[in-house]
Amino acid sequence: MRERRGSGLSVQEFCASLTEQHLKQGRDLHIFSCGHFKKNLGAMKRYNHSVAPIIRAEPTRGLIDEQVQLEVVHLVPSQRVTLQSKLLSEDADWWEAYGHYASDSEGIVRVTRDQSHGGTYMGQEPMGLIWSMKLAPGSRPGKRLRKKDVTIPYLVIVSVYDGWISNTFDKRAALASVVLERFYMAPGTTRLELQEGRTIGTMFFPPGPGPFPAVLDMWGGGGGLVEYRAALLASRGFATLALAYLGHKEVPPSLQSFDPKLSYFEEAFNTLNNHPKVSNDNIAILGLSLGFTLALMMAVELPNIHPKCLVCISGSHYHLLGQGKTDLPDFQLHSDKIIMTEDGAMIWRNIIFPFPDDQKFMVQVDKVQCPMMLISGQDDQNWPAPESAIEIQKIMKAAGKGHLLTSLSYPQTGHLIEPPYSPHVRESNFKVHSVNKTVNVLWGGETKPHADAQEDSWKRVLAFLGKHLVPQHSATIVQAKL
């Protein structure tokens, strides 16, 4: 195992690295150098100020799920300004957002208090500059913003410009700028690359000796090893195993990972359960999309494991296995159920809907013995998650197990319900591993309601995990100070 601890770049290192990247790409960079401020000092002199505008941010370093207090001071009263945020992704794509504000009688803009009058978001939105980010004009289409190296933060540049503008930011002089460092790993959180038996993944542990309550974290059919949610859960007090089970070079072929006895997943659960820093038999399973179904199957069909609770996001109880081999939906066979949008995005939600009458194709959720939280978006265009949630509620109630179920359903929310303030992506590229082909998929959701759902559901997930994994502690959720 290789271990890494949460860490960050200094502002100076960030500026140097970005400057080098922009010089290589032949782009202008407008941040923080003395030359930049000297060059644009004349633009500021027209204001009768003894002090130039300043952006204050608290905190400038924080976890990705923490709010930031932003304000601009030393403006002219009633001055119209534009606040813009941008970051360079690990795929070298720029993401940006902006809002139009007017300063108060004291020349101050407080983002937590004031209304955005236009831009990528409207109204009083303290974190609008983060969750409303979109790919910058001219970027490659079809991308999602997903953190690969969780040991370093996202670096978000927030700048203020004179007037209400919507483009040509790179051709204008910023009145002031600040860098926000947004982490998935709190100080002292440890990361261990895991390859034990057949289990492949990454383990994250909160600071301290433990033992800790734990979460087995599974993403969906996009495959690979996705770590950022697990890192954030560990930063909030839960030892977490981000499990690779599909589309990863170190994972065995799908027949071994999805064998009818679910042996790969049982082994992964036991690997986590037996770790010396994990509180034995105090484990939750969290799954999104395909991970949702696998979480249900593990709870129902593996008699030798006993999860304390389940968190299931944007999936269904449609059974994935049949007759001793994988039975994933065949996108070519069900092409008549795939809807194509005008811009060529695929809508998959009807592939398995309506659900078959033959119950052998459905997970027997009436056998679930532990508390379960279902989270779905009512505008999920990728999978019939809201319909599945309704069916599961009916089945659990009929079985006298309705008390075990907590169901959250969010209007105008799509499939990709991620940690809070993650930019909403309505459609993006997606690799279908069964045919080794990348297609454009419509996930659904509208930006503002989807952002609200992500913020609300994350708080509820943390509270749910805290209630069922560590009920003796009233404050499982820790506020990390970076």
Q: Which residue out of 65, 162, 217, 380 is catalytically annotated?
A: 380
Q: Cβ neighbours of residue 149 under 8 Å, at least 6 residues apart? A: 90
**Distance between first and last Cα of the chain:** 26
Could you check whether the bond before residue 307 is cis, i.e. omega within 30 degrees of 0?
A: no
Q: Cβ neighbours of residue 216 under 8 Å, at least 6 residues apart? A: 240, 241, 243, 268, 269, 272, 283, 284, 285, 286, 307
**299: nearest Cα among 377, 209, 190, 396:** 396
317 catalytic per annotation: no
Q: Which residue out of 132, 159, 257, 289 is catalytically annotated?
A: 289
What is the helix (H) or strand (E) element at residue 81, kind and residue range?
Answer: strand 80-88
Pairing mode, strands 54-58 and 212-218? unpaired
Q: Which residue out of 319, 415, 450, 468 is catalytically annotated?
A: 415
Spatial distance between the Cα atoms of 226 and 239, rounded to a whole number of angstroms: 16
Spatial distance between the Cα atoms of 284 and 90, rounded to a whole number of angstroms: 31
289 catalytic per annotation: yes
Give the up-direction half-sphere exposure of residue 258: CA atoms within 13 A in the CB hemisphere.
Answer: 21
**Numbers of helices and strands, H then E, in the chain:** 10, 24
Spatial distance between the Cα atoms of 285 and 262, rounded to a whole number of angstroms: 14
Spatial distance between the Cα atoms of 208 and 190, rounded to a whole number of angstroms: 10
**216: nearest Cα among 244, 189, 235:** 244
What is the helix (H) or strand (E) element at residue 51, kind and residue range?
Answer: none
428 catalytic per annotation: no
Extract long-range pairs of 193-198: CB within 8 Å, 24+ residues apart. 193/1, 193/2, 194/1, 194/241, 194/271, 195/1, 195/250, 196/271, 197/267, 197/271, 198/252, 198/256, 198/264, 198/267
Could you check whether the bond before residue 354 is cis, i.e. omega within 30 degrees of 0?
A: yes
User: Hey, how many other C-beta atoms are within 10 angstroms of the C-beta on 237?
Assistant: 24
Q: Residue 378's Cα: distance from chain center in Å?
A: 18
Spatial distance between the Cα atoms of 196 and 264, rounded to a whole number of angstroms: 11
Spatial distance between the Cα atoms of 178 and 85, rounded to a whole number of angstroms: 10
User: Hey, how many other C-beta atoms are within 10 angstroms of the C-beta on 328?
Assistant: 16
> Which residues are known catalytic residues?
289, 380, 415
